[in-house]
Structure 1
């Protein structure tokens, strides 16, 4: 025979619990009793709130950023290398063209992009990530935020960037690159420029995509146009500016068509 406790119903927000599922203490008790168990801090419902908090912090911090470009590349790039110098120059040129610079906030290419932005007197943003090994925010970040979750951080890169510039890097750089390509290819985001810097580094990958992936029917020929490859910092900025000018022209044409249609229907 069922006991009275087995029949009792417990409401926990939108959740309904009965029987053995009913907790032995309330959420307030677990929050306020510092001597109690802390396992609940690592439970999935609490993680959802942490995730929400990261989105809120990111949106709040970057909402008024203005036009920005994300610069990606290896954290292992030597400050004395040509790639680092290229990252600094690209950061500087982007600021001179009216863009803020967003990086992952760490060393290597990320530091180079932030340094270039600071040297040009622009806005330098670092979106860091909590890692098992120490990777502090570089000294050239003006606006910085550390994330627990990669997917929240990646959302911030996409939401607040009008273009991606990708210098030589490793798995993390590849992850950001192909996520951006996929989002543009599938129409999940408005198309924006994706510029690869380093023909010697990226050329083999693009050749494989063209000569293996395309003939196998895994992508459409037009997908090859989603990225632009160059070694020239000036061309990086030119590609971005031309793409944005074309997008603005299309918006103005669409607005004019809508206005004409409204006028004709009135």
Structure 2
């Protein structure tokens, strides 16, 4: 069954970058050319095959050249210059890019500017706005493909493990601490930590990965610094994070996959790569799809519960060819307060993923279980 991140999954036959001119390719049918400035190069367009399946998106050409290509059937799309975001991206976001314009006194960040633009028409965007948002999110998909580098076997070169849990979990809570320590141990064991990119457990995951290799003494300082602003609603929330980045300017890489759908929540600052989407549904499905090596579920509320059953559905029907571990970090939460774990074990009875469910309170045990349960290929 094909996955959206396998090498043969992309419906665009060729996305052409600067190397295209050196490749000798002359057939541009069923081809999309993306974000290329062709004004400064000499191209003999009469030597190239084009038709109405040839699409130029965001490309710069002399007007007379574009007119001639249009006469031959080629199609063109140009993004408006006044959008606060670039629909066509070659790479994922970084924290520095999204935080441009931010200061302690006032948040005028690019991240907030894009959110305000999105929020204005979120429920019913115009057809133009919807088009550019979809192209933007497709560009993010492409960025993830390049970052994770999925092979023909459907497995990424980076062993991605996802984290789910409450966005409102305070930095001063035991759930936050245990999630951070779990992510730290996973990163130290060679796994690539992925979160939803927001505050709470998501921040704990990216921060834990970032701090891989740090001493207990250094962690003590980190937790004391975080306590000064426990939740994202507290004054100084981002400033506390910046203090940690200033003291530890280098950290282990991780990935965040947030969304402007929840743009009122600040993106956490500890992820190396940020795949930020407009569509929350695509974002959630994507996070689950790439976490082939497992997902850790810290205590959360309705959103976390939804994600648990989305993941269980993927395992139940083997949506992406592989069964992956589902580890529940919180015995009391998942076996007493909600009984979600007993429900899932009953649901999984007789299925391959029955052996891939685990309940624990021990971060080290999480790593051991994931080590012993690599992705299981099911035909």
Cα 1:97–1:220 shift into 2, 3 Å:
closer
Q: How many residues align?
A: 215
State which of 84, 87, 90 in structure 1 corresponds to 2:176: 84
State which of 356, 360, 363 in structure 2 corresponds to 1:233: 363
Cα 1:206–1:89 shift into 2, 3 Å:
same
2:302 paired residue number = 171
Deviation at 1:136? 1.9
Deviation at 1:107? 0.8
1:261 paired residue number = none
Check the 8 A contact 2:356/2:373 in 1, yes or no.
no
Q: Per-residue displacement from partner, 1:167-197 (whole Å, max 9, x unpaired)?
A: 0011221122111111111121201111011
1:192 paired residue number = 324
Cα 1:47–1:110 shift into 2, 3 Å:
closer
Q: Post-superposition, which runs of at least 4 consecutive aligned residues in structure 1 deviate over 4 A?
A: 27-34, 45-48, 223-226
Check the 8 A contact 2:258/2:267 in 1, yes or no.
yes
Deviation at 1:151? 2.9
Local SS of the residue matching 1:71: strand
State which of 154, 157, 163 in structure 1 corresponds to 2:284: 154
2:264 paired residue number = 134
Deviation at 1:102? 0.5
**In 2, Cα distance between the equivalents of 1:33 and 1:116?**
39
Question: Structure 2 stretches of 5 or more lacking a match?
Answer: 1-51, 54-74, 83-124, 150-155, 213-250
**In 1, Cα distance between the equivalents of 2:79 and 2:348?**
54
Question: Structure 1 stretches of 5 or more lacking a match?
Answer: 1-12, 15-26, 252-266
Does structure 1 residue 122 correspond to structure 2 residue 208? no
Q: Per-residue displacement from partner, 1:206-232 (whole Å, max 9, x unpaired)?
A: 36627xx95xxxx45235544211111
Cα 1:132–1:114 shift into 2, 3 Å:
closer
TM-score, with normalisation over the residues of structure 1? 0.69
Q: Superposition pairs for residues 14-163 of structure 1, below 5 Å? A: 39-42=126-129, 48-63=134-149, 66-120=158-212, 121-131=251-261, 133-161=263-291, 162-163=293-294
Query: RMSD of aligned C-alpha atoms?
Result: 3.3
Local SS of the residue matching 2:257: strand
Does structure 1 residue 221 correspond to structure 2 residue 349? yes
TM-score, with normalisation over the residues of structure 2? 0.50
Q: Which moved more, 1:176-185 or 1:148-157?
A: 148-157
Local SS of the residue matching 2:350: helix
